[in-house]
Each structure stands twice: as structure tokens, then as C-alpha cells.
Structure 1
């Protein structure tokens, strides 16, 4: 079965964060100080798309840039294929294990 999956494009999100910072006149140092970061390295990593800001930092950035948090993120849609019978088999195995764990003390 093939389905769509939404993920965050880290590189484009980094470019987006850099664009908002530039448009609002904020330097990396300004953002570092506003977020209370001990060093500017995370901001550079965000801008390069190496890592993403935490949810707390995304919220604060959205407030700083006066945009919704979701506007900072760039979505990417991918197609992926999986075997639905494996999901059903895994779920049934987990169910059996839970039932055995539940009933074993009652039977003993």
C-alpha cells in the first residue's frame, strides 16, 4: 500500500527562519539573546537546516517574528510503501502478549 507522509524539510525551514530574521532585522546574536541561549551555534545550525529548534524555541521565534509557528516550518510530502499485513500481524502479536500478561496472574 502506498500513502503520503508529511515531514519537515529542514533545509527549507532553515532558509525560512533566516529569511524571517533578516526581514525583521535580527542578527544571530539578537536571536541568541532573545531565546537565552548560551552560544549562537544552535541558531546557525537552524539556519543551515542541520537541526530544528525545539517547540518552545519555535513558539518564541514565532512571537519574535510575528507569525504563526506553522509558518516557520516548510512541509515536504513523500510517498512511502508498506505492507499492511505486517502491521496487522504486529498488532495481533502485541495483543496476544498483553492478554497473556493480564491473565497469567489470574490463572496461577
Structure 2
């Protein structure tokens, strides 16, 4: 058994909301930046119901002026069996 990191979706969502506010951006601002028709995706990210796609995560990091690693919250408690 090996401990591998797993993304904590709830805490990552809270982090996205905190970083967005810290950057002085509204949900509507992010909606416009990403070109989304509705703000639902951003609300889902902030609630931890969904994660941004990899390309949206890279854009989000650039917009918030942080590293991708600063957005994601990981938990290393997950044990995974690795077979050779």
C-alpha cells in the first residue's frame, strides 16, 4: 500500500472562492473571463461539486495570479494498492 495525494474537492472549492475574493473578482467576472453563458460552473467549483478542467484550471491560476498548486487542496490519506 502506498499513500497517494487525492484532491479534496470541498476544500479546493472553498479555496477557489477565497482566492477569487482575494483577487477582487466576482463570480460574474470569472463567468465573463471564461465565456460561460451562466455562472453555474463557477458555483459548482466553489461548492466542491465539480473541479475546473485542466485548461480552465491553468487559466484560473493565471487570472488569480497563483500557481495551480495553490488552488488545489490535496489529502494524502488515500491508500492505493500499486501492482507491478
Give the structure 1 partner of residue 58 of structure 2: 59
- Give the number of equivalent residue pairs: 84
> Secondary structure of 2:25's match?
coil
Alignment CA distance shift 1:39-1:69 (3 Å): same
**Do residues 43 (structure 1) and 39 (structure 2) align?**
no
Structure 1 outlier segments of 4+, above 2 Å: 79-82
TM-score after normalising by structure 1 = 0.72
Unaligned runs of 5+ in 2: none
Per residue, is there more helix in 1 or in 2?
Answer: 1
Give the structure 1 partner of residue 13 of structure 2: 14
Distance 1:29 1:60 in 2: 16
Flag the structure with larger Rg: 1
Q: Cα RMSD (Å) of the superposition?
A: 1.5
Distance 1:68 1:81 in 2: 27
Distance 2:67 2:77 in 1: 24
Give the structure 2 partner of residue 78 of structure 1: 77
Offset of residue 20 of structure 1: 0.6
Distance 1:30 1:19 in 2: 15
